[in-house]
């Protein structure tokens, strides 16, 4: 009897990515006997070059798929309205946690040219003097 796979193969990695991009839960994928354990998939994300980026892209596509599922559920007249609300709300809340595109909160990037903007209270005297001097030259 063979155990679950632990060695990364392109075929297994590609299947995981396709299923994630279709909106399938990673826990369901990991329960399939021919798939690696959840911990192994997470290990591959850090150990396999390019897999983490591909996984993030697949997750974005999966979020789109889940949003379409929410629309289908909302439009289904055969589902009890109370149950429908729970199903749609659950998907939307998960999407908001998984993706900034679906989050109700707006994130603002406080950087300029790749440098973080530091509040004046946190700047040293030398940093403040250099900033003032650079603006005085303009």
Q: Is the dihedral of CA 116, 117, 121, 127 positive or negative?
A: positive
Residue 1 has pLDDT above 60, yes or no: no
CB 95 within 8 A of CB 104: no
Note the pTM of the prediction, 2 decimals.
Answer: 0.68
Q: pLDDT tens-digit profile of 20-56? A: 999 999 999 999 999 999 999 999 999 999 999 999 9
Residue 19 has pLDDT above 90, yes or no: yes
CB 21 within 8 A of CB 61: yes
Higher pLDDT, 135 or 6: 6
Q: pLDDT tens-digit profile of 63-98? A: 999 999 999 999 999 999 999 999 999 999 989 888
């Amino acid at each position: 009897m063979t155990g679950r796979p632990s060695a990364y193969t392109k075929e297994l990695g590609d299947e995981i990515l396709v299923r994630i991009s279709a909106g399938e839960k990673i826990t369901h994928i990991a329960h399939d006997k021919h798939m690696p354990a959840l911990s192994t998939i997470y290990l591959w994300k850090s150990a396999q070059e390019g897999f983490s980026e591909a996984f993030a892209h697949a997750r974005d596509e999966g979020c789109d798929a889940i949003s379409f599922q929410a629309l289908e559920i909302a439009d289904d007249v055969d589902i009890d309205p109370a149950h429908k609300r729970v199903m749609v709300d659950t998907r939307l809340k998960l999407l908001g946690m998984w993706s900034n595109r679906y989050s109700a909160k707006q994130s603002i990037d406080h950087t300029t040219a790749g440098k973080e903007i530091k509040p004046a209270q946190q700047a040293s005297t030398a940093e403040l003097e250099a900033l003032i001097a650079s603006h005085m030259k303009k």
